Structure 1
Amino acid sequence: MFETVLVANRGEIAVRVIRTLRALGVRSVAVFSDADADARHVREADTAVRIGPAPAAESYLSADRILRAAAETGAEAVHPGYGFLAENAAFARACADAGLVFIGPPADAIALMGDKIRAKETVRAAGVPVVPGSDGSGLSDAELAAAAHAIGMPVLLKPSAGGGGKGMRLVRDASALADEIAAARREARASFGDDTLLVERWVERPRHIEIQVLADGHGNVVHLGERECSLQRRHQKIIEEAPSVLLDGATRAAMGEAAVQAARSCGYRGAGTVEFIVPGGDPSAYYFMEMNTRLQVEHPVTELVTGLDLVEWQLRVAAGEPLSFAQDDVTLTGHAVEARVCAEDPSRGFLPSGGTVLSLREPQGDGVRTDSGLSEGTEVGSLYDPMLSKVIAHGPDRATALRKLRAALAGTVTLGVRTNAGFLRRLLAHPPVVAGELDTGLVEREVDGLVRDEVPEEIWAAAALLRQAALAAPAPGWVDPFSVPSGWRLGGEHAWTAFHLRVPGHDPVTVHVRGTADGAAELLLPGADRPVRAAWGPPPGTGEASRFAFRLDGVTHTVAALPDGTWLGRDGDAWHVRDHDPVAASLTGAARAGTDSLTAPMPGTVTVVKVAVGDEVSAGQSLLVVEAMKMEHVISAPHAGTVAELDVTPGTTVAMDQVLAVIAAHEEHTEAEE
């Protein structure tokens, strides 16, 4: 076994790898960019080395800097995690040239399986069924379009390099092919440095099932069962589970053998995943899609049902050890489900979010595991992947695992950064999901009913009660009781105190609060015609967030709250509740009369600017592109008009809600509105 291993990654996977290194007594070396100087993986490693500024191209994607860090710290091997350089054949070769062991497959296997076109040809020759699609590499736009027409709509455009859904485009209308090919190339080039595309037949209502394989350097290859990854958004997995409810024993064995043959066909070594697309109505008709030549994000569900530590076996195989078990020794026990918690705001179309983690609570124990790179004080920016953590639950059966995971997500608190934890909890309770009736399009079809658009009234109530408690909090020393703004009046009822509140993206509201003679409170909530009674515990102290419990009209609610009440969380969701000044807001609105400001929907970087000040634009015209966390968002003109202001250029870093441009409406447009 190695003495020292450098982990060439960041976030939750770096923390995850360091955990196994520590358990094996192996010294760990972390690398970090300037953005991650105080990150959790840096603090948990035995040694940490700065490798450059925040942009990934100058740090985590710089092979030279990583290899220099390995040499400086005496590392014998490099674990690439996933993403960044994990599937980079040139980096694997560079490690070997530097005398380092790359903890992953041989470079030739990475190169072969990293090229989806060559990969399909190779596994087809080994007898593995593949999805019908285009042939050949380096196809032009015209050739891709011709192949799409030959296959028949709908089709799926896919980058030949990379994975994770980046650059994938489902095209149903032939008239959109040209624009979709251009967009897919642009995203593929940005994500993988290679804009080569292929086109495949789209399988309606498909299920995405992958097989985990493990191969050593002595000719042994086994599979560790399957993972169901059909719950996806924009071709990105969000929920994974093992085993799949779709497969019976015979189909599982057949797909497992196909995965083993795919691994053998490229001389694989280490942990890898063979991905299949499976028609939901006919599980026996499975097709090879691609092979991921690395550890997968969803590997914990396999670990929980097999009892194996996949990172440990990556290390052992890389150190030259043979597998100590055969295929017949692999058994699957119980059921495991994983949810990916990402920095994104479901109420704003799942756009990336950001901010500082002000308070954190991550469930662990009793069949629940959280793999995370977060800690309180972590700054979540727009430079890297939006995934923050993974919450995984294991139980004796699927129903138990789902129930445990829903409870764990409800108890997950990430105040200061909007996440999708609440959305995932609701998805896991959705009847088709509970029944196991899955396909890769289910989430997109049902998303509107799973997104919580409105701020719950208990959040408005909690914010108002916290503000009332802060007003009435006694100051040190003697205080004139008549100076305390508690609402109390001599010889009469308490007076109402009005709190004007707002949550970004929602209309402002006013909540009235008044105390009662017995020390409780009454609240008049937005839209209500009668007050409700509330009783609550002591206000939170200072520092960390605390649980704030209160009874509202006979129902007890518990929220996670920061002491000043600016962030409140419940059931996995979080809201940034601010004070609202109606007068100032009215003046701001008047100042904007006759214009329309285009603001950044997410923190990120402006990558494309298609207009200049003075240009005439039409309604719906694409004006700007903002990119964050590997996602592009097109900013379009809300109406016909003239570009009156343009505050950004390509490369400008912007904050969420920052004004990008102002479009002055044409007179006829303004008159039509009036």
Structure 2
Amino acid sequence: MPLFHTVLVANRGEIAVRVIRTLRGLGIRSVAVFSDADADALHVHLADTAVRLGPADARESYLDGERVIAAALGSGAQAIHPGYGFLSENAAFATACEAAGIVFIGPGEQALEVMGDKIRSKLHVALSNVPVVPGVSDASLDNAALAEAALGVGFPLLIKPSAGGGGKGMQLVRTAEELPESIAAARRVAASAFGDDTLLLERFIEQPRHIEVQVLADAHGAVVHLGERECSLQRRHQKVIEEAPSPLLDAETRERIGRAACDAARSVDYRGAGTVEFLVSAARPDDFFFIEMNTRLQVEHPVTELVTGFDLVEQQVRVAAGEPLAFAQSDVHLTGHAIEARVYAESPERGFLPSTGTVLAYTEPQGAGIRIDSGITDGSEVSPHYDPMLAKVIALGSDRAEALARLDAALADTVVLGVDTNIAFLRGLIAEPAVQAGDLDTGLIDRMPSLSLPVPSPELLAEVAAALGATDRQQPGSASPLWRSSSGFRLGAPRPRTLTFLVNEALVEVEVAQQASRDTRATPSRATRPAERTRTTIAGQGPRLWVHEGGASYELTVLDRAARLERSLAAIDRVGKAHSPELRAPMPGTVVAVHVADGDEVEAGQTIVSIEAMKMEHRITTPISGRVTLTTSEGALVRRDDVVASVTPIATSEKRDT
């Protein structure tokens, strides 16, 4: 049976790149789609052809099913691969593809509709004797009724958007007092992200382990599983590190949970690749509960590919083309151990807030057992419009210890400069004793101590100063060459030159080493240490620099005399003031809610506005009590550090008058 000659990839970033590469290996022509924000993206350049969808807003591009289908028809595509996210689990889109005569590379309408609704899916699989987590699943409940039902479920509990995925909109509630605001926030995110504000309640199992099973099914009735993945290392219900197989399960439990996953898939006549997710008690690993089924490829699918040898995208394409699976359950064997780390554009030291900007330097690691799935390159733009994941670093070893060691070395050699990333955090996470021992649970990251901003060593700053000094002498400027010359006549010893760096809001003066600079290769945008020393990369233009060394990255600003004076005067002005009256946006994004009115009297700790960007909602609270003045409104776009409000303390006399 022939495969397709042309397939459109209805996605972006690393998953679009990954799908395009498999299509190329199968001899299938690939069609990329892009928004205005992605016109120069890597997936656009790799595809055989590309079609513009629309503006940066995903609702007018990647989420617009009509535009995607029109692009497929116009490019001669026979099928559409949706990747994950966007339209990958949209039953209406799959139906529209069929009506247009285009094959949707994914499951059928029944699976998408049943498994796309967390309430309906739990009720459905329970009929096939698949164990489910206790909770409340009633779409008719309003906020008040939902809060009352929560009391019956007990605390702690999770509020989850029924139509959602990826942890978006989930709220963990530990007391009844938290319910009203948490329910409202979950509804707001669910309506905005999924167009459906239906919620469900679910008992939160303390110290659970999140284990999912990869299934494959064809149109001829065959269903197999490819083992499990451990996804317990999560933050805000978003997976961070994934591995296969799980260090928790024994062979007997692996067989039982795999059989349950296949039963769940059969119950909806599943077709293609899918993942059945379970919560497993760390104390009782033989006790597991179904939580949902993802009817698409998962972000973490590479670890399964590495330990089984199967290309899951290839299997999706072959099943969609009508081919039967070429193997049975007895042919599936897990060899070695694979671990994946997700590299995000975010700042762990600032509460994991997303970061945007231009990728000034990007280097992928190499080595035995290392695989990189990435959607960026030098010059890529990281915008606030989409998910902040940049790449995935995956390591395969003969056992778990070797896989962890290889992953750590690969992360140390992964260079991303120009935006904040979580690479250093990932290295610290996999070095945790509990992680090394395989003693995992979904709350482990939350229990880790608060992170502080990394501080570059004096030696590193000296090297940066030397590189800048060498570059400066090579560039023409307004001063006479006589003054820049190192051999001109002058009275007394040469005056040492110093540079002032702004490092994490602190000023650091560094003397430029004249001799060392001659040994440092430098350009205005990048410098690299000699090969015999630890590799350092410097990138940037103007006063703002990014530096990578030994797996850590630092953002530095070189201050001239005027900038130093400005900061000194500002510091004098702040003396005696415990807090700034200005509330600033911690990240670029959209104001999705304003919780107070202009001129209201507010209390310290009260939420003023909520900002959403990159699948995250952040609440800005006031550190002081006083009267609020708003400088933004709902729906406004803000940049990082924009002032959204100010709070002025109320004088005692004013309080008496009121």
The alignment's TM-score, normalised by the length of structure 2, stands at: 0.93
CA deviation map 1:276-295 (0-9, x unaligned):
00001111001111000000
Deviates more, 1:61-70 or 1:465-474: 465-474
- Within the candidate set 555, 559, 576, 2:555 is matched to 576
Aligned partner of 1:501 in structure 2 is 501
User: Aligned equivalents of 1:669 and 1:417: distance in 2?
Assistant: 48
- Match for 2:603: what amino acid? S
Distance 2:273 2:426 in 1: 28
Q: In the alignment, does 2:442 pair up with 1:463?
A: no
Matches within 5 A, 1:300-311: 300-311=302-313
SS at match of 2:385: coil
Paired with 1:10 and 1:263, the residues of 2 have a C-alpha distance of: 28
Q: 2:422 aligns with which of 397, 420, 423?
A: 420
CA distance in 1, matches of 2:459, 2:346: 23
> Would the alpha carbon gap of residues 226 and 48 (structure 1) be closer, same or farther in structure 2, given more than 3 Å must change?
same
Taking structure 1 as reference, are residues 563 and 469 closer, same or farther at Cα in structure 2, changes over 3 Å only?
Answer: farther
Structure 2 match to 1:291: 293
Q: Which secondary structure does the structure 2 equivalent of 1:31 belong to?
A: strand
Distance (whole Å) between structure 1 residues aligned to residue 442 and residue 67 of structure 2: 39
Aligned residue type for 2:536: V
> How far off its partner does 1:495 sit?
3.7
Q: CA deviation at 1:427?
A: 0.8
Distance 1:178 1:610 in 2: 14
Residues 44-90 of structure 1 deviation map (CA, whole Å, 9 limit, x = unaligned): 11110011111000110000100110110111101000000000001
Residue 367 of structure 1 and its aligned partner are, at CA, apart by 1.0
Please report how far the alpha carbon of residue 639 of structure 1 lies from its aligned counterpart in structure 2 after TM superposition: 1.1
Within the alignment, does 1:329 sit opposite 2:331 as a pair? yes
Shift of 1:481: 5.5
Q: Identity, % of aligned pairs?
A: 56
Question: Aligned pair 1:602/2:584, yes or no?
Answer: no
Write the deviation string for residues 420-472 of structure 1: whole angstroms up to 9, x where unpaired: 111101111111101101000001101526x5554444443343333333344
> Following TM superposition, by how much is the alpha carbon of 1:641 offset from its aligned partner in structure 2, in angstroms?
2.4
Give the Cα–Cα distance (whole angstroms) in 1 for the partners of residues 176 and 104 of structure 2: 44
Q: What is aligned with 2:360?
A: 358
1:537 counterpart = 2:538:
no
C-alpha offsets along residues 4-23 of structure 1, whole Å, 9 cap, x if unaligned? 10111111100010000000
Q: Distance in 2 between matches of 1:205 and 1:348?
A: 25
Instruction: Say whether the 8 Å CA contact 1:132–1:201 is kept in structure 2.
Output: yes
Residues 366-390 of structure 1, C-alpha deviation per residue, up to 9 Å, x if partnerless?
2111111101111101011111111
SS in 2 for 1:389: strand
CA drift of 1:173 comes to: 1.3
- Residues 91-113 of structure 1 show CA distances to partners (whole Å, capped at 9, x for unaligned) of 01010011110000001111100
Question: AA paired with 2:537?
Answer: A
Q: Distance in 2 between matches of 1:420 and 1:389?
A: 11
Preserved CA contact (<8 Å) 2:467 2:520: no
Matches within 5 A, 1:30-49: 30-49=32-51
Q: Give, in angstroms, the shift of residue 547 of structure 1.
A: 2.3
Aligned residue runs from structure 1 range 3-42, under 5 A: 3-42=5-44
What is the aligned counterpart of 2:538 among 561, 570, 577? Answer: 561
CA shift in 2, pair 1:479/1:178, >3 Å: closer
Letter in 1 for 2:229: R
Letter in 1 for 2:505: D
Q: How does 1:254-269 map to 2 (within 5 A)?
A: 254-269=256-271
Alignment partners' CA distance in 1, 2:62 and 2:183: 29
Q: Residues 183 and 31 (structure 1 numbering): CA distance in 2 closer, same or farther, change over 3 Å?
A: same
The aligned runs of 1:277-288 (5 Å cut-off) are 277-288=279-290
1:452 & 1:133 partners in 2: Cα distance? 40
Displacement of 1:502? 1.3
- Could you tell me how far apart the structure 1 residues matched to 2:135 and 2:459 are? 52
Matches within 5 A, 1:624-643: 624-643=609-628
1:547 aligns with 2:528: yes
Code of the residue aligned with 2:389 in structure 1: it is M
Match of 2:187 among 180, 185, 188: 185
Residue pair 1:344, 1:420 contacting (<8 A) in 2 also: yes
Distance 1:100 1:602 in 2: 40
Q: Aligned equivalents of 2:623 and 2:36: distance in 1?
A: 38
Which residue matches 1:532? none
Question: What is the one-letter code of the residue matched to 1:540?
Answer: A
C-alpha contact (below 8 Å) 2:473/2:484 kept by paired residues: no
CA 1:557–1:364: 2 relative to 1, 3 Å: closer
Contact 1:242–1:305 (8 Å) recurs in 2? yes
Q: d(CA) in 2 for partners of 1:211 and 1:69?
A: 34
Query: Bigger shift: 466-475 or 627-636?
Result: 466-475
What is the match of residue 158 of structure 2? 156
Aligned partner of 1:510: which letter? V
Match of 2:177?
A: 175
Aligned position for 2:606: 621
Pairwise CA distance, 1:631: 0.7
Cα separation, 1, equivalents of 2:87 and 2:483: 66
Distance, in Å, in 2 between the alignment partners of 1:392 and 1:623 is 41
2:106 counterpart residue number: 104
Contact map agreement 2:233 2:443 (CA 8 A) in 1:
yes
Counterpart check, 1:140 vs 2:150: no
Change (3 A) 1:501 1:95: same
2:19 is aligned with what amino acid? Answer: V
- Does the aligned pair in 2 maintain the 1:412–1:571 contact within 8 Å? no
The whole-number CA distance in structure 2 between the counterparts of 1:321 and 1:486 is: 76
Matched with 1:527 is none
Does residue 510 of structure 1 match 2:489? no
Deviation at 1:365, TM superposition (A): 4.6
- Offset at residue 202 of structure 1 (A): 1.2
Q: Pick closer, same or farther for the CA change 1:495–1:550 going to 2, 3 Å.
A: farther
Which of 637, 640, 647 is the equivalent residue of 1:663? 647
Counterpart residue number, 2:196: 194
Equivalent pair of 2:118/2:163 in contact (CA under 8 Å): yes
1:658–1:397 CA distance, 2 compared to 1 (3 A): same
- Equivalent position amino acid for 2:556 in 1: V
Task: Supply the RMSD in Å over aligned alpha carbons.
Answer: 2.5
Size of the aligned set, in residue pairs, is 643
- 1:460–1:67: structure 2 CA closer, same or farther, 3 Å change rule? same
**Do 2:454 and 2:554's aligned partners in 1 also have CA atoms closer than 8 Å?**
no
Instruction: Give the stretch that moved more between structures: 424-433 or 453-462.
Output: 453-462
| Alpha-carbon shift at residue 669 of structure 1 (Å) | 12
Once residues 668 and 497 of structure 1 are traced to their aligned partners in structure 2, the CA distance between those partners, rounded to angstroms, is 53
Q: CA deviation at 1:623?
A: 1.4
CA distance in 2, matches of 1:92, 1:514: 62
Paired letter, 1:577: L
- Do the aligned residues in 1 keep the contact of 2:462 with 2:510 (CA within 8 Å)? no
* Residue 583 of structure 1, CA deviation: 1.1
Q: How does 1:451-490 map to 2 (within 5 A)?
A: 452-473=453-474, 483-484=484-485
Quote the offset at 1:625 in angstroms.
1.3
Please say if residues 223 and 259 of structure 1, whose CA atoms lie closer than 8 Å, have aligned partners that are also in contact: yes
Cα distance 1:536–1:288, how it changes in 2: closer, same or farther (>3 A)? farther
Q: Post-superposition shift, 1:575?
A: 2.1
Q: Within 1, Cα distance between the matches of 2:382 and 2:148?
A: 43
> Structure 1 CA distance, aligned partners of 2:248 and 2:488?
62
Equivalent residue for 1:648, pick from 632, 645, 651: 632
515 and 579 in structure 1: CA distance in 2 versus 1, 3 angstrom threshold: closer
Aligned residue runs from structure 1 range 406-445, under 5 A: 406-445=408-447
